[in-house]
Amino acid sequence: MSATVTDARVPVAAPGEDAPAPGPRRPLPGRRLLVPLLLLVTAGVYLAVRTSAPADGDGAAARFFGELRDWVDANRDTSPLFLYGFNYLRLGVSLLVDAIHGALYGLGWAGLVTAAGALAAVVAGWRTALLAVAGFLSFGVLGLWEESVDTLVLTLSAVLLAVLIGVPLGVLAARVPAVGAALRPVLDVMQIMPTFAYLAPMTLLFLIGSPAATIATLIYAIPPAIRITALGIGEVPAATVEAATALGSTRWQLLGKVRLPLARPTIVLAVNQAIMMALSMVVVTALIDAPGLGQTIVQALERVNVGAAFDAGLAIVVMAVVLDRITTRAAHRAAPTVHRSVRVRAVGPLVALAVVVAVTVLGRMSSWGAEFPAAWRASFAVPVNEATRWVEFHWYDATEALKNAVSAVLLDPIETVLTTTPWWLFLVAVLIFGALASGPRAAVVAGLAVAGVQALGLWQHAMQTLATVLVATVATMVFGVLFGVLGARHDRFARVLRPVLDAAQTMPSFVYLLPAVALFGASRFTAIVAAVIYAVPPVVRLVERGVRDVPATVVEAAVSAGSTPRQLLWKVQLPMARRGLLLAANQGIVMVLAMVVVGGLVGAGALGYDVVAGFAQREDFGRGLAAGFAIVLLGVLLDRLTQGAGRRADHDRLRQPAT
């Protein structure tokens, strides 16, 4: 199950873009001196021109968005753009959601559990079917049956749309280079954009409710669907295509009979990734009145009820595991090399369908089928809450001291430096150091992002958020490298770690806020803790992978040359895993940003708070929307600056998706 949410965030270089991976950069002469010198100069200029960190006013951008909202509000039922555009979209999506809702609820709980098992049995085998049945039963056991089904309804609706739109786009991107090139930056931004930033524009266009939630989820889930499909189509061997062409295939025949069938396993993987992304987004949409487990979690957050959130988080993880297993196994089976007899292929689904129909009818006719039996309930809420209370009570002084120390020693000084730096100096620094670290192109993009933040009129808040992100990223890297190296060197540790990481990566980000809030109250440090828990798993994975990928021959050579284990690690394994580490930093920082912003819900302030408030208070709407864009720009900035050498390394990763 390692093909989870975050793996999909790894940007896939479009096929055909196999630029030679840059070798280790040769240091320019004088470079050793240049960097410290530039640092000194920057520090000097900063001391000369620092500002008093004037508070952000309501900038022109905020006012513009506020007016936009007023216009939309006034014209929603009169403007043709809405009458014939957005409102129909909303209507169409709500019909789809209603249809799926009706179908899943129509089955009854027994019918749905059986249907999940049957579907798994047909496409993925009987072991997966057992898992699916057990998983779906657990929703009821946790007392969250309806919430889970509601979440499933939204997820399926969004994924269905994502596949219907994403696969054709992916095919197009692979076949028409211009489309691929045009899509790439759009997809980049979509993947960097924190889930939170989607919501306000969604309510502006589609109001609140399931349709807006589905569309937000769709937007979040579609990039991997497009990218992986494009990858799959691009990887169809040229020789096969040529052979088919030589036999006289038309272009459509080529696509329908050769390219799509050969790319099928990859396309199923695209569906898998879309599902994983959708699941993590669908929870957040509870904030705009989407039903389901997200509601339970949001409510738990409002009551600081860690136990209730734990149950709901667990249900999400179970759902993710079941859907992931079904689709990954289906991807393996979809490989055109696996041939099964025609009879098996026809009989299996028929038997499965008959069983589902039988159970559904039985369930609907009998009294026990109406509602999930209450006697089967079990919940972790009470023990989890007791444990939390114990920790709160006994660790209070320690947690308080830790929070205050980190805030005073790290967070506040960094924040002060960043907020008192004039924006133009920051821009120049980004251009210079960005060019040195990641090349001139990345630096220019990063510089444009900086200018954009300034233009949005949210400079101070952006810098406060950035300070929190930096501290959280450092902590994430420390823990990530520590566990990653341990995992790479000790197989047993890795075995224990893996399921924990799997679960952690599918937990909705909201859930992490709760233990953090319980321990540290409302503060920036809370957001940091939540962000670290959220971002560490993928970093651990990438670091472990990087260290393990160091060729065995190199390690042997070093050992035979007399390296101690410590030397081996510091002089050989870590330097050689540099790319893995850079990629990990790149992933980590983008995830940290996403979570720090969610921390706006619990007192982390700055941009995250602007988004939350804009969403909840009318007069702050414009500023909230502007903050959403500022977050995206901050994401672009951080992503470009850290991509360095890491970006290329991912190309090999998706070639051999882990299972």
Residue ranges that bind other proteins, judged by CB under 8 A:
73, 76-77, 80, 82-84, 87-88, 90-92, 94-96, 98-100, 103, 203, 207-209, 286-289, 291, 295, 298-299, 301-305, 349, 353, 403-404, 407-408, 411-412, 517, 521-525, 600-603, 605, 609, 612-613, 615-619
Closest among 461, 605, 603, 466 to 58, alpha carbons compared? 461
Shortest separation between residue 504's beta carbon and other proteins, angstroms: 23
Shortest separation between residue 312's beta carbon and other proteins, angstroms: 13
Radius of gyration of the chain (CA): 26
Shortest separation between residue 555's beta carbon and other proteins, angstroms: 45
Shortest separation between residue 37's beta carbon and other proteins, angstroms: 33
Give me the amino acid identity at 51. Answer: T
> What's the rounded Cα separation, in Å, for the pair 66 and 624?
9
> What's the rounded Cα separation, in Å, for the pair 25 and 508?
39
Task: Give the pair of three-digit tokens for residue 185.
Answer: 């930056």
Closer CB to other proteins, residue 76 or residue 489?
76
Closer CB to other proteins, residue 103 or residue 186?
103
Closer CB to other proteins, residue 258 or residue 286?
286
Shortest separation between residue 210's beta carbon and other proteins, angstroms: 9
Closest among 53, 62, 140 to 619, alpha carbons compared? 62
Shortest separation between residue 558's beta carbon and other proteins, angstroms: 45
N-to-C CA span, the chain: 6
Closer CB to other proteins, residue 91 or residue 554?
91
Alpha carbon distances (Å) from 111 to 149, 363, 366, 620, 638: 12, 7, 12, 47, 48
DSSP of 199-249, one letter per residue? HHHHHHHH-SSHHHHHHHHHHHHHHHHHHHHHHHHHTS-HHHHHHHHHTT-
Q: Is 524 exposed, middle or buried (0-12, 13-18, 19+ CB in 10 A)?
A: buried
Q: Yes or no: say if 159 and 278 are a contact pair by the CB < 8 Å rule.
A: yes
Closer CB to other proteins, residue 41 or residue 91?
91
Closest among 168, 332, 182 to 265, alpha carbons compared? 332
Closer CB to other proteins, residue 77 or residue 491?
77
Closer CB to other proteins, residue 103 or residue 243?
103
> What's the rounded Cα separation, in Å, for the pair 462 and 53?
12
145-175 vs 87-106: helix crossing angle, rounded to 10 = 130
> What's the rounded Cα separation, in Å, for the pair 540 and 497?
9
Closer CB to other proteins, residue 28 or residue 374?
374
Shortest separation between residue 85's beta carbon and other proteins, angstroms: 9
Shortest separation between residue 280's beta carbon and other proteins, angstroms: 19
Shortest separation between residue 278's beta carbon and other proteins, angstroms: 17
Alpha carbon distances (Å) from 446 to 117, 432, 636: 48, 11, 7
> What's the rounded Cα separation, in Å, for the pair 237 and 256?
15
> What's the rounded Cα separation, in Å, for the pair 583 and 645?
8
Shortest separation between residue 182's beta carbon and other proteins, angstroms: 29
Closer CB to other proteins, residue 201 or residue 521?
521
Closer CB to other proteins, residue 345 or residue 441?
345
Closer CB to other proteins, residue 8 or residue 268?
268
DSSP helix, strand, coil percent of the chain (3-state; round to 5) = 85, 0, 15
Sign of dihedral through CA atoms 580, 585, 590, 592?
A: positive
CB under 8 Å to 597, separation ≥6 — which residues?
194, 196, 197, 465, 607, 608, 611, 631
Shortest separation between residue 50's beta carbon and other proteins, angstroms: 16
84: three-class secondary structure by DSSP: helix
Closer CB to other proteins, residue 350 or residue 658?
350
Closer CB to other proteins, residue 345 or residue 655?
345
Q: Yes or no: say if 149 and 112 are a contact pair by the CB < 8 Å rule.
A: yes
> What's the rounded Cα separation, in Å, for the pair 326 and 379?
26
Alpha carbon distances (Å) from 103 to 153, 278, 511: 9, 20, 29
Q: Yes or no: say if 395 and 159 are a contact pair by the CB < 8 Å rule.
A: no
Q: Yes or no: say if 233 and 174 are a contact pair by the CB < 8 Å rule.
A: yes
Shortest separation between residue 74's beta carbon and other proteins, angstroms: 8
Shortest separation between residue 432's beta carbon and other proteins, angstroms: 30
Task: Give the pair of three-digit tokens for residue 213.
Answer: 């939630």
> What's the rounded Cα separation, in Å, for the pair 418 and 431?
16
CB atoms < 10 A from the CB of 270, how many? 29
Shortest separation between residue 593's beta carbon and other proteins, angstroms: 19
Q: Yes or no: say if 170 and 270 are a contact pair by the CB < 8 Å rule.
A: yes
Shortest separation between residue 645's beta carbon and other proteins, angstroms: 37
Closer CB to other proteins, residue 103 or residue 370?
103
Closer CB to other proteins, residue 439 or residue 521?
521
Closer CB to other proteins, residue 483 or residue 621?
621
> What's the rounded Cα separation, in Å, for the pair 9 and 4?
10
Shortest separation between residue 285's beta carbon and other proteins, angstroms: 12
The greatest distance separating any two alpha carbons of the chain, rounded to the nearest whole angstrom, comes to 82
